[in-house]
Chains A and B, each alone.
Chain A
Amino acid sequence: MIVAEKKPLEAIARMLEGSGRVLAVGCGTCVTVCFSGGSKEVATLAASLRMKRSIEDRPLAVVEAMVQRQCEWEYLEPLAEQMKNVDAVLSLGCGVGVQTLAERFPTMRILPALNTLFMGLPSAQGVWEERCQGCGSCVLDKTGGICPVSRCAKQLFNGPCGGSQNGRCEVDEATPCAWHMIWERAEALGMSEDLMSIEPPKDWGTSRDGGMRRMVRNDLRLPEDQDKEGNE
């Protein structure tokens, strides 16, 4: 899932300085299951903002709304009606949700209430950890299912740095050393020999370094869209 967390209330309030009535929109997907942008969090943030502004003698009306998926056009349609009487929209979606709203409603101010953190999993109740950076060329087959791109602070491809101690990363004691885990898993699988060959430099062109990425599946596209592009 995509993991995000609420921005400080002060930062959100600053974005809403000039607003008197806003629509707070949650998202029913990733940010609901990481407890940052579901209906409860929308209610909590709406109440917090109303109280803060009331105390400051500048009342703010916050209308609460939810969509199942902020990152897909068709789910956003019902919001058009609710947006009629507001001067800004506060998105409790991830960065993708915020941008989808901004693209769909180009004349409305769309503001982020969350900081989008990473793609990860709940490693324990109330704890989320990063597992993938979307580098565009997965190497998990070579590293026993443990990602050195997202889990090693130095993104090493050929073994641990000199700071690995007792299975912990030198950058943060709470973080396990990815290469320690990769080695132990390879040994358990009887595959440590696979880690002996030199992994050549990675082509980062498939990662964000190559610019905004796009995936196209022509078999799924609308024929008229393809015709349009063909004519351009």
Chain B
Amino acid sequence: MSKLSAAVLPTDATFKSGGNLERVLAAGRFAVTAELGPPRGCDAAAVRRKAQILRGWVDAANVTDNQAAVVHMGSIATGLLMISEGLEPIIQMTCRDRNRIAMQSDLLGAAAHGVHNLLCLSGDHQSMGDHPGAKNVHDIDSIQMVAMVRAMRDENRFQSGKEIPGGGPRLLIGAAENPFADPAAMRPYRLRKKAQAGADFIQTQLVYDVARFREFMKKVVDLGVHEKVSILAGVGPLKSPGMARHLRQNVPGMLVPESYDARLEAAVNGIDGRDKAERSYAWREEGKRICVELIQEIREIEGVAGVHIMAIEWEEAVPEIVKAAGLRQASQG
């Protein structure tokens, strides 16, 4: 049975979305999600190829919404291609490009096409992207978006309060949290705010500093937030020591311990410096091993309901990591 046919089966009334991710979380299984970056052009085949790599290895895959404020194929359109390949999408939507009218309209359309999951984000600022002169929207913020979509789904009401004829979109609502951003003391409370607004699941920024993440999760568990919302920890394989340095220095709110640089450097010991391909291969193998270890460590932390594997433009790594971490033995697609 493909994932697509599951989407059109009559849904159990107790489920919010009827999607696969919700079923996995409801069953208390350790959830695995990944990320699929849409192409910068109209290449449907590129989406299908990536979807085929991920299908069966993850419970659902995020599809980014003009990530880094660079124009890409739209997240909903890309998500529909994923559905046709049997991969359940988590549509990302930012507050940067749409006002509440466009958001609600697009969500009605997405739900009509069988989309089950939404991730609500503020969005990277347009000054970081390829159209820095663009006007941003920010009509509502990500927490307000969560509350709006929850009311659409649970109360069949638009943000205006008017009724949605025929009922609102059945969407599982996600939100993001960066446990390492500042002000650190406010982060667990902000996460609680998202849960109170109606988020069903949370995906975190990439975790490399497990000790810091553990502290954050302790506070989250103390607040009881993990009982209201499923928390998926973000992980991702490093491709090189350069990538570790780049993340540490250039990505706001990213903590990458320097010990990982050393491990990656050590992985190329004995390899001729001129053999770029061989060095790259060694780095990537070590990067995947580090990622697997992170998953195994994070999995033991109380309140963690799953992992979100972000392998940017390296979807091939996901099945290997999932398998090595003991999350799946074979594709279930």
Nearest CB in chain A to that of B94: its residue = A154
* Minimal beta-carbon separation of A85 from chain B (angstroms): 41
Q: How far is the CA of A204 from the CA of B141 in the complex (A)?
A: 13
Contact mask for chain A residues 71-96; partner B; CB cutoff 8 A; 1 contact, 0 none = 00000000000000000000000000
* Minimal beta-carbon separation of A2 from chain B (angstroms): 21
Are A154 and B182 within 8 A (Cβ)? no
Q: A-B pairs with CB below 8 Å: how many?
A: 106
Partner of B95, one of A154, A180, A196: A154
Contact mask for chain A residues 146-170; partner B; CB cutoff 8 A; 1 contact, 0 none = 0000000111111111111111001
* Minimal beta-carbon separation of B125 from chain A (angstroms): 5
Which residues of the other chain, B, contact A157 by a CB distance below 8 angstroms?
141, 143-144
Contact stretch, chosen from B39-47, B48-56, B190-198, B267-275: B190-198
Are B193 and A196 within 8 A (Cβ)? yes
Q: How far is the CA of A180 from the CA of B96 in the complex (A)?
A: 21
Are A164 and B253 within 8 A (Cβ)? yes
Which residues of the other chain, A, contact B205 by a CB distance below 8 angstroms?
162
B123 at the interface (CB under 8 A from A): yes
Task: Count how many chain A residues have C-beta atoms less than 8 Å from C-beta atoms of the other chain.
Answer: 33
Task: Count how many chain B residues have C-beta atoms less than 8 Å from C-beta atoms of the other chain.
Answer: 37
Which residues of the other chain, A, contact B176 by a CB distance below 8 angstroms?
162
Are A166 and B138 within 8 A (Cβ)? no
Which residues of the other chain, A, contact B127 by a CB distance below 8 angstroms?
153, 171-172
Q: How far is the CA of A195 from the CA of B127 in the complex (A)?
A: 28
| Contacting residues of chain B (155-184) with chain A, CB-CB under 8 angstroms | 159, 176-178, 181-183
Chain B contacts to A: CB under 8 angstroms: 95-96, 100, 122-125, 127-128, 136, 138-144, 147-148, 159, 176-178, 181-183, 185-186, 189-190, 192-193, 196-197, 205, 252-253
A-B residue pairs, 9 tightest by C-beta: A162-B178, A158-B143, A170-B252, A163-B252, A155-B138, A159-B190, A156-B141, A201-B140, A161-B122
